[in-house]
Amino acid sequence: MKPSIISVILLGLTILFFTGCSTEEHSLQQDPPLISSSQISDNDSNSEDESKEDETSKDDRSEMNSEDQIVEEHEVEVETNPESTAVLVNKEYSLPEGHKPEDLVYPNIPFTFEEKIEKRQMREEAAMAIEELFSAAEMDGLSLLGVSAYRSYDTQKALFNYYVERDGEEKARTYSAVPGSSEHQTGLAIDVTASYDTCVVEVCFAETEEAKWLEENAADYGFIIRYLEGKESITGYQYEPWHLRYVGKEIAKEIVSLGVTLEEYMNAVPVSN
Ligand SMILES: [Zn+2]
């Protein structure tokens, strides 16, 4: 079949998009991007390793990358039910305003603080899973600490407004979620660290033994590292090796074996598209 001009244009735009937006601007963007092109380039120096080495596909979907095709075969749809442990929450898919999970509990794991407060909570299933994960890490001689788990809509709103005041909205959006679009509001996400005072919620956490262990083992306990390096243009967030998201063992293992984000797994559009 002779490729149409439109598919050639789409192929070009797709390559441009997945190689980290190397030009200053690209015309695909309709909404203001969560990350500016220059920030993507700064954060994303390895993006070419991540880009797919597609051979030309024989069928009409030649503009799609190979991961999309693999995931599409699973026919997984976007989960929008806020009660589901697989719910997709990002800039495109917000939780209902004021949503609060009904089964929040305090997981029995150490945190960087002692107080029994909101951010220590997780949904029951995720709490049990994080306890198992922390125990397994400890058995391997590693020490993990929780930094922040559940965050209510109101807390996220206050936090986001604070960051907007400090850094302006455009910058704040690259690292803080708009109220309703934070995974922490699901009670299924937790930020972790290996130390009380070094590389806490910083990219250098990725260099720790604990982070490497998480990369290899988190899926066995139902967690994924949600914001991957080189996937900023799909998730809308910078690389966050400390942010774990519970999705259940089955989905976590599938996502890791495919090497995709939750967005790609559910065939959701890139959030900055
Ligand atoms: Zn987080």
If DSSP codes are grouped into helix, strand and coil, which group holds residue 223?
strand
Instruction: Give the rounded distance of the alpha carbon of 71 from its chain centre.
Output: 17
Where does residue 33 rank: exposed (0-12), middle (13-18), buried (19+ CB within 10 A)?
buried
Residue 76, pLDDT score: 87
Residue 217, pLDDT score: 98
For the four alpha carbons of 171, 100, 123 and 108, in that order, the dihedral sign comes to positive
Distance (angstroms) between ligand 1 centre and the Cα of 183 equals 7
Euclidean distance between CA atoms 35 and 222, whole angstroms: 28
Neighbours of ion ligand 1 (CB under 5 A): 191, 243
Question: What percentage of residues in the chain have a pLDDT greater than 90?
Answer: 65
Q: Which residues contact 23 (CB under 8 A, 6 or more apart)?
A: 16, 37
Which has the minimum average pLDDT: 31-45, 58-72, 127-141, 226-240?
A: 31-45
Distance (angstroms) between ligand 1 centre and the Cα of 191 equals 5
Residues spanned by CATH 3.30.1380.10 within the chain?
Answer: 104-265
The first and second tokens of residue 218, run together, are: 């988190």
Distance (angstroms) between ligand 1 centre and the Cα of 110 equals 17
- Say if CB 246 and CB 85 are below 8 A apart: yes
Which has the minimum average pLDDT: 41-50, 122-131, 202-211?
A: 41-50
pLDDT higher than threshold 60 for residue 21: no
Task: Give the CA radius of gyration of the chain.
Answer: 19
pLDDT higher than threshold 90 for residue 10: no
Residue 61, pLDDT score: 42
Distance (angstroms) between ligand 1 centre and the Cα of 190 equals 6
pLDDT higher than threshold 60 for residue 20: no
Mean pLDDT of the residues in the chain: 80
Which pLDDT tens digit goes with each residue over 65-81?
Answer: 555 555 555 578 999 99
Distance (angstroms) between ligand 1 centre and the Cα of 19 equals 26
Distance (angstroms) between ligand 1 centre and the Cα of 258 equals 22
Which pLDDT tens digit goes with each residue over 126-164?
Answer: 999 999 999 999 999 999 999 999 999 999 999 999 999
Confidence grade of residue 35 (pLDDT, cut at 50, 70, 90): very low
Q: Which residues contact 8 (CB under 8 A, 6 or more apart)?
A: none
pLDDT higher than threshold 50 for residue 239: yes
Distance (angstroms) between ligand 1 centre and the Cα of 266 equals 20
The stretch 230-239 carries a mean pLDDT of 92
The first and second tokens of residue 209, run together, are: 């033994």
Q: Which CATH architecture has domain 104-265?
A: 2-Layer Sandwich (3.30)
Distance (angstroms) between ligand 1 centre and the Cα of 169 equals 19
Euclidean distance between CA atoms 33 and 233, whole angstroms: 9
DSSP state of 121: -
Which pLDDT tens digit goes with each residue over 98-110?
Answer: 899 999 999 999 9
Euclidean distance between CA atoms 226 and 112, whole angstroms: 21
The stretch 163-173 carries a mean pLDDT of 94
Residues acting as catalytic residues: 240
pLDDT higher than threshold 90 for residue 7: no
The stretch 168-188 carries a mean pLDDT of 92
